[in-house]
Chain A
Amino acid sequence: MATIKRTKFKLLPGQLLEMFYWLKLIRAFDERLSILVRQGKVRSGVYTGIGQEAIIVGTAFGLRKEDYICPLHRDLGSFLMKGVEARVMMSQMFGKVTGLSKGRDSALHSGVNELGIFGNTSMLGSNLPVAAGLALTFRMEGTDNVVIAYFGEGASNTGDFHEALNFAGVHRLPVVFVCENNQYAYSVPVEKSMAIDDVADRAASYGFPGVAINGNDVLAVYQSTQGALARARAGEGPTLIECKTYRWHGHSEHDKAFYRTDEELAMWKSRDPIPTFTTYLKGLRVLTDENLREIEARVTKTIDDAVEFAVSAPDPMPDEAVRDLYTGDPEP
């Protein structure tokens, strides 16, 4: 079986700082959402990815506009990285007309074709066959664009997972399957939902490589993704990258997560991807006190602006509830 070449993909200082910015921004976006839920300003449907940010940043960094991503519910940050404005994404969470859904749903349930973002339903894993379909069209057109499809270890137990990865394997489609293994499917720990240790092992059934990596190390995620993307762009087929990680919050913001221990959470918090990367960048002297302050200020400004925009944006008109069901429907 093929293996991933552990090629070192060089990053320039400016790119490293950009990665750092995304990590900080996505963390701040989710943290603010968490506060807004507690304040009763955002109604519900908030599934933060706090603690898992290195996966989105390491995989989505440097993607082409034409490349497609098929995010899961904790990946709102990937929408931002692919070009959706923070204002629009925050509006989406507030159910405002300025959101991607015009208030019809929140979070990941909307996409943008022009930016290569597919918005999935709440049926976890059901984005994977769609990802295969998107990748199939890249193959039909002979381009070297790729699809990155995200899923949790929980969704790797669905039929759609099997059907999609099998099809992608048969046709050697240009798709990278990224598993965010955060140890729990809502409350059910991984050992109660799988009889194997690594989701990555499942790739063998579909005839392509699978690797399990430290999902809290943004550079490790980036390196593995670049290897997988190179394979996909060269027509060598899919790769499954399992990123081991942990979600700090509950499944959703209303979930107190009593099913896990404080010690376990503390252990994973000690592996927070952001301080690790901060120390690394400071060691390289890429990150200085000065540009750190500048980045943090930019993050705060972006989030403040997004919230302010979303709060003051209009609610949808009631007739929006029955529009846009069909293409011929009159526009409001």
Chain B
Amino acid sequence: MSREVTYLEAIREALAEEMRRDPKVFVLGEDVGAYGGAFGATQGLYEEFGEQRVLDTPISESAIVGISIGAALRGYRPVAEMQFADFISCAFDQIVNQAATLRYRYGGRASVPIVIRAPSGGNVGGGLYHSQNPEAWFVHRPGLKVVAPSTPFDAKGLLKAAIRDNDPVVYFEHKYLYRREKGPVPEGDEIVPIGVAAARREGDDITLLTYGAMVTPSLEAADRLAKDGVEVEVIDLRSLLPYDKDAIFASLEKTSRVLIVHEDVKTLGIGAELSAVIMEERFGALDAPVLRVTYPDTHCPFSHMLEQANLPNADTITDALRRLAAY
């Protein structure tokens, strides 16, 4: 049965259901216990599962991930919360050196089934250290999986998939979507497989690749283009590592034009890789250069004026789509 819940409630449901299903699943992080998490993602878990499985930690991001790795080696499935994705840099070594390489250097004789939840993204007035989109750092590291849901349905289904996955998954949940995004979510088990994109809108003229909080403004821009008679296919990547190459290629074979939209900065962001792969492997299918609309190569400023100046929006996406259509 499906009913409407918020993106944040969907995350909470996934955690609770997975903890009920598998006693090896536990959560840890700063303020995740009785307080219920800085954003409320773990609310009610402490009461239901107790302090052993809903573990408040000191401000020690590196240890939070290291402890998770240790527990995972003994068969547990820890879900570690980084209070803000911005703080994940404090745990960088444990993620990229310890977790990502472990199976490889163990000769395939061990796995690290951990999930690192990272509340990311701007448009919330968070300033430099509460707004970042650091997903590309982790996409650059073999051995990790990286996902970034945009809907409540995916937030729940991808988190379940991440918890059941045997490898380390960095799960980027966008803070702007927590309470603003509400949609149908099934009550039971509905797994959204990692590595599979979703077409949010079909179209034959331009392929728009995006994820996270950029899906909504992308759809808005696509609707504007439809009024000009240009049909944009909006593909929500959902998984960034691995990303759904088949879905991307299938769409561009149809449209011959690609726009990539992401909230992360431009240089060596996800768009750079997707653009390179498209040109390497499908150059002949293109009628126009692959374009990108991204955050400029700068930090996430606090002032509302400055932040809005940086964020891609329906207007900037529309402009880029029109340029592509005119090619």
Classify the interface of chain A: helix, strand, loop or mixed.
loop
Are B67's CB and A136's CB within 8 A? yes
A93-112 CB contacts (< 8 Å) to partner B: 99-102, 104-105, 109-112
The answer to whether A132 and B70 touch across the interface, beta carbons within 8 angstroms, is: yes
**Interchain CA distance A112-B73 in the complex, whole Å:** 10
Is B66 an interface residue when CB atoms closer than 8 A count as contact?
yes
Q: Which of A71-79, A233-241, A293-301, A322-330 makes up part of the contact surface?
A: A322-330
The smallest C-beta distance from A171 to any residue of chain B, in angstroms, reads 9
CB pair B142 A325 closer than 8 Å: yes
Inter-chain contacts of A110 with B (CB < 8 A): 105-107
Decide if B70 touches A100 in the complex (CB within 8 Å). no
Asked if residues A113 and B60 are in contact (CB atoms below 8 Å), the reply is no
A116-124, A211-219, A303-311: which lies at the interface: A116-124
**Contact digits for A232-261, partner B, Cβ 8 Å, 1 yes 0 no:** 000000000000000000000000000000
The reply to whether B93 and A133 form a contact with Cβ atoms under 8 Å apart is: no
The reply on B34 being an interface residue by CB < 8 A is no
Given contacts A119-B105, A133-B67, contact A140 B52 (CB under 8 A): yes
Which of the listed residues A119, A123, A325 has the most CB atoms from chain B within 10 Å of its own CB?
Answer: A325
Name the B residues within 8 Å of A164 (CB-CB).
63, 66
Say whether, besides A121-B98, A327-B167, A126 and B66 are in contact (CB < 8 Å). Answer: yes
List chain A residues, Cβ under 8 A from B68. Answer: 133
Whether A129 is near chain B, meaning CB under 8 Å from some CB there, is: yes
Closest to B68 in A: A133
Q: Are A136 and B71 in contact (CB under 8 A)?
A: yes
Q: Does A331 contact B (CB under 8 A)?
A: yes
A309 to chain B, nearest CB (A): 17
Q: Does B58 contact A (CB under 8 A)?
A: yes
Cα A134 to Cα B66 in complex, Å, equals 10
Q: Quick one: which of B57, B58, B67, B76 contacts A130, CB cutoff 8 A?
A: B67
**Would A133 and B66 be within 8 Å (CB), given that A126-B98, A163-B58, A325-B142 are in contact?**
yes
Report B-chain residues with C-beta under 8 Å of the C-beta of A325.
103-104, 142-143
Q: Counting CB contacts under 8 A, is B111 at the interface?
A: yes
Which residues of chain B come closer than 8 Å to A132, judged between CB atoms?
Answer: 63, 66-67, 70
Q: Please indicate the chain B residues that have their CB under 8 angstroms from the CB of A123 in the complex.
A: 93, 97-98
B108 CB–A CB distance under 8 Å: yes
> A324 and B97 in contact (CB under 8 A), knowing A129-B65, A134-B70, A163-B63?
no
A111 contacts B70, CB within 8 Å?
Answer: no
Q: B94 touching A134 by the CB < 8 A rule?
A: no
A134 to chain B, nearest CB (A): 4
Contact A102 B108 (CB under 8 A): yes
Give every chain A residue within 8 A of B142 (Cβ-Cβ).
Answer: 325
Known: A133-B71, A137-B74. A326 touches B143 (CB 8 A): yes
Which A residue's beta carbon lies closest to that of B145? Answer: A326
Cβ of B163 to closest chain A Cβ, rounded Å: 14
Cα A258 to Cα B43 in complex, Å, equals: 58
Q: Which residues of A contact B71 (CB under 8 A)?
A: 133-134, 136-137
A179 interfacial by beta-carbon distance below 8 Å: no
User: Does B166 lie at the interface of the complex (its beta carbon under 8 Å from any beta carbon of A)?
Assistant: yes
- A100, B110: Cα distance in complex, Å: 11
Contact (Cβ within 8 A) A160 B111: no
Q: Which residues on the A side are within 8 Å of B145 (C-beta)?
A: 326
CA distance A325 to B112 in the complex (A): 11
- Interchain CB contact under 8 A, B105 and A104: yes
Q: Which residues of A sit under 8 angstroms from B78, Cβ to Cβ?
A: 133
B98 lies within 8 A of A104 (CB): no
Task: Tell me if B155 counts as interface (CB < 8 A to partner A).
Answer: no
Check if B66 sits within 8 Å of A160, measured CB to CB.
yes
A-facing residues in B16-74 (Cβ within 8 Å) = 52, 57-58, 60, 62-63, 65-74
- Given A137-B76, A170-B58, A324-B108, A126 contacting B97 (CB threshold 8 A): yes
A100 touches B107 (CB 8 A): yes
A137: which B residues are within 8 A, CB to CB?
Answer: 70-71, 74-76
B101 at the interface (CB under 8 A from A): yes
Q: Give CA–CA (A101, B93) in the complex, Å.
A: 20
In the docked arrangement, what's the CA distance between A123 and B92, Å?
12
Bound-state CA distance A101–B105 (Å) is 5
**Which B122-147 residues have a C-beta within 8 angstroms of A?**
142-143, 145
- Residues facing A in B142-167 (CB within 8 A) are 142-143, 145, 165-167
Please give, as numbers and ranges, the residues of chain A lying within 8 Å of B3 by CB-CB distance.
none
State A122–B93 Cα separation when bound (angstroms): 11
Contact mask for chain B residues 153-187; partner A; CB cutoff 8 A; 1 contact, 0 none = 00000000000011100000000000000000000
- A183 to B36 alpha-carbon distance, docked (Å): 46
Give the CA-CA distance A119 to B107 in the complex, in Å. Answer: 12
Question: In the complex, are the beta carbons of B63 and A167 less than 8 A apart?
Answer: yes
- Whether a CB of chain A sits under 8 angstroms from the CB of B109 is yes
Cβ contacts under 8 Å, A121 to chain B: 93, 97-98, 101
- Which chain B residue lies CB-closest to A106? B105
Does A166 sit within 8 A of B, measured CB to CB? yes
- Is A159 at the interface (CB under 8 A from chain B)? yes
Is the beta-carbon distance between B74 and A129 smaller than 8 angstroms? no
Question: Contact: A167 with B57, CB < 8 Å?
Answer: yes
Q: How far is the CA of A325 from the CA of B106 in the complex (A)?
A: 10
> In the assembly, what is the distance between CA of A105 and CA of B73, in Å?
19
What A residues does B69 contact at CB under 8 A? 129-130, 133
Residue from the list B57, B58, B105 in contact with A105, Cβ < 8 A: B105
* A-B contact sample (17 more), CB < 8 A, given A133-B66, A166-B60: A100-B107, A101-B106, A102-B108, A111-B110, A119-B102, A123-B98, A129-B69, A130-B69, A133-B67, A133-B78, A137-B71, A167-B60, A167-B63, A170-B58, A324-B103, A324-B107, A325-B104
> Would you give 16 A-B contacts (Cβ < 8 Å), ordered by A?
A102-B108, A112-B109, A119-B106, A123-B97, A129-B62, A129-B69, A132-B63, A133-B72, A134-B71, A137-B76, A160-B63, A167-B60, A167-B67, A170-B58, A327-B103, A327-B167
**Closest 9 A-B residue pairs measured CB to CB?**
A133-B70, A129-B66, A163-B63, A324-B108, A133-B67, A327-B166, A163-B60, A134-B70, A102-B107
